[in-house]
Structure 1
C-alpha cells in the first residue's frame, strides 16, 4: 500500500515538472522569437541607415566631382583664352611684312603719295627696315609695265600690293584675282569708273583704298574769281586713263554753271603731248591740268607753251603749283598717302579685310597759289584772295 502511494506521488511530481518545463520552453521560445524580431528590425534599420549614408556619400561625391570638373573646365577655358591672347600678341609683335608698291609714273604728287603711305604704315607700327620689307617699282607711265610689275609681286607672294594711280591699281587688281593677295590703291580719281568699286563705294573684290577725286566745282569757282573775263578752259588728257575721262565729263557737266566752255585734247602717249599742247594754248584762255599721269609727267612742256601765250595754267594739287601752275584747289597727296597707309595697316594686321572696306576720300580741298608763276605771265592776283590760301609759293621749284 505504501509502495503504491509512493509511486502515485512520484508520478504526480513528474507530471508537475513536465508541465513546468513546457512553460519554460514556451517562454524561452517567445523570448527567442522576440529577440529575433528585434534583431531583424535593428538589422533593417541599420541597413536603411547605411543605405542613406551611402546615398548621401555618393551624392556628395558626385557634387564634388561635378564641381571639380566645372572648375577644371573653367580653368582650361581661361588658360586657353589666355594662351590665345598671348599667341596673338606674339604674332602681331613678331610679324614681318613684305609688300609691293607699284607706282604708275614718276612725278611729285605720286611720290608724295608713296611717302605718305609708308608714314601711314609707320603710324600703325609697321616700319620699313624694322618689320617691313618694301619692293618698289615704277611703271614709267606704261600700262604694260604696270601689269608686269603686279604679276611679279603676286608671284613673289607679297603680303599686300599698293597700286598708286589708276592704271597701277587696275593692273594690281587683275594680277591678284584668284589669289589671297589684297590690293590697296591710292590716287585713283574715280574707283567706280575704273571698276574697282561699286556705285555705293563698296569694293568689287579684295581691293580698297583712297580716291583723289578732284574738287571740280571748287576749281571752276576759283578760276572764275581769278579770270572774270575768261570763256574757254583747255584740258589735256590721256585717252587710255579712265580717271581722266571721267573727270573731264564732270568738268563739262558743271562748266556752264560758271560761264565756261571746256575744250579738251586727247593724247595716246607722252610723245603726243608737245604737239597737242602747242595747239591747245592758241584756242583757250587758260589751261586746267588734271591728275592725268602722262600729262603731269610732261607738265613742263605744257607750262612752256602756256607761258609763251601768257595764259595761266591751273593745277590740281600742291606739287603742280610748286613747279609753275598759278593756283589750284587741290589735294595734299602726303595726307592722302597717310590715310591709305593706315587702311593698309588694318589689312596687314588682320583687323579688317580689304573686301569689306569702302574706299575713302579727302573731302576738303585747299587753295595753293604761286605768285612767281603769276608774275611770269604778267597776271595780277587779288591780295585778299591770295591771303586765304593754305600755302603761297613765291618761287618756281625745279621739276
Structure 2
C-alpha cells in the first residue's frame, strides 16, 4: 500500500434518489480458491473523504487478489435512504456490506444479523450502538473508526498556539451523532486554553451557507468536524472563509483539496484500506467479524495548504513548511 501523505505522526424511494451501479468499474482478479463475492457498498453521500475511503477499501480487496463485484449505493444525504439500501443488500444476498459512514452502518446492522458488515468513517462506534467496545465487535460487525484518540486535542493545541485568543466556530448537523461527539470533545479540549467556541447547527446542506455566514460574524477560526452534511457543502464554507479572512481548519486532509487551510487528521484512503483488510480476512474465512477488534486510525498527519493560507489572509510561518510540502507532494 502506498500512503498518500508525506509526513506521518504516530500517536500512543428512493430508487430515483439512490445512485447505484452493479460494478465499481475496477478489474477484479480471481481468488486463489476460485470463489467470487458480491460486496454491497453503502455511504450516506458522495464527498472527497468518503470517496477516498471507498477507494482505499477497493484497493485492499484488489491487492488481496479476490474476485469481487461491487454494488454501490449512495443515500444522497438522506438518512432515511440508508435503511432502504441496507434492506436491498440483504434481499440481494450480498456476501458482505461495506458501510461508509455512521448512518450507513447503523442501518446495515438494523437490517441484518447474518451478513458480515465492515464499517469506516464512523467517529464513535460504541456511542452509535454498533459495538459494545473496540475489543468487543459484534457477531457480524467490525470496522475502523475515523477519529484518532489524539486528533482533536492536537488540533486544538495547533489553533491555540497559532491563533491564540480566537473564537473557534463550529458548524454541524445535530442529527449526526458522530458530529455531536466531536463537538463535545472540541469544547472540552478548548477549556483551559485561550480559545472560546461558538456554534451553528444545520439540518441539510442547503442550510450551510446561511449558517456559515452567521458564524463568520463571530468566529476567527472555523474548525470543521467530519460532518457529512456540512462537508458536502465545503465549497460554500471555503468561499465565505476566504471572503471574510477566517482560517478554515478541517478534520480530514481531503478537505484541503477544496480549500481548507490545515488538517490534523486522518487520511480516509488509509482508513478504507484498513477496513478492506478486515473484509479480506472475513471473506477468505480467516476470521469472523467477532474475532476482529475495531481499530482507530493507525496514524494521523498534519498537512497545510499554502494557497488557502494566502486566500484566508493567514500570515505564513516557516515552521509550517514541512506540513505544506507534505500536502504539495500529494497533488
Output the TM-score relative to the length of structure 2: 0.86
Q: Deviations over 1:68-124 (max 9, x none)?
A: xxxxxxxxxxxxxxxxxxxxxx99511111110001111111111000001111222
**How far is 1:262 from its partner?**
2.0
Q: Deviations over 1:171-208 (max 9, x none)?
A: 1111113xx20110011011011111214541244100
Residue of structure 1 in register with 2:270 after alignment: 335
Taking a change above 3 Å as real, the CA distance of residues 259 and 91 of structure 1, as seen in their structure-2 partners, is: closer
Aligned partner of residue 101 in structure 1, secondary structure = strand
Gaps of 5+ in 1: 1-89
**How far is 1:293 from its partner?**
0.5
Q: CA–CA distance in 1 between the matches of 2:291 and 2:221? A: 42
Which structure is higher in RCO with an 8 Å CA cutoff and minimum separation 6? Answer: 2
Worse overlay, 158-167 or 190-199: 190-199
Q: CA–CA distance in 2 between the matches of 1:112 and 1:202? A: 27
Residue of structure 2 in register with 1:135 after alignment: 71
Bigger strand fraction: 2
Bigger helix fraction: 1
Q: Deviations over 1:347-375 (max 9, x none)?
A: 11111111222211114210111110111
Residue 311 of structure 1 pairs with residue 254 of structure 2: no
Q: CA–CA distance in 1 between the matches of 2:62 and 2:161? A: 41
Aligned partner of residue 361 in structure 1, secondary structure = coil
Gaps of 5+ in 2: 1-29
Aligned partner of residue 209 in structure 1, secondary structure = strand
Residue 323 of structure 1 pairs with residue 258 of structure 2: yes
The CA RMSD over aligned residues, in Å, is 2.0
Residue of structure 2 in register with 1:263 after alignment: 198
Residue of structure 1 in register with 2:147 after alignment: 213
Q: Which runs of 4+ in 1 moved over 6 A?
A: none
Q: CA–CA distance in 2 between the matches of 1:363 and 1:96? A: 30
Q: CA–CA distance in 1 between the matches of 2:31 and 2:179? A: 43
Pick from 297, 303, 317 the counterpart of residue 368 of structure 1. 303
Taking a change above 3 Å as real, the CA distance of residues 346 and 200 of structure 1, as seen in their structure-2 partners, is: closer
Larger Rg: 1
Residue 247 of structure 1 pairs with residue 182 of structure 2: yes
Residue 100 of structure 1 pairs with residue 40 of structure 2: yes
Alpha carbons 1:366, 1:389 under 8 Å: kept: no
Output the TM-score relative to the length of structure 1: 0.72
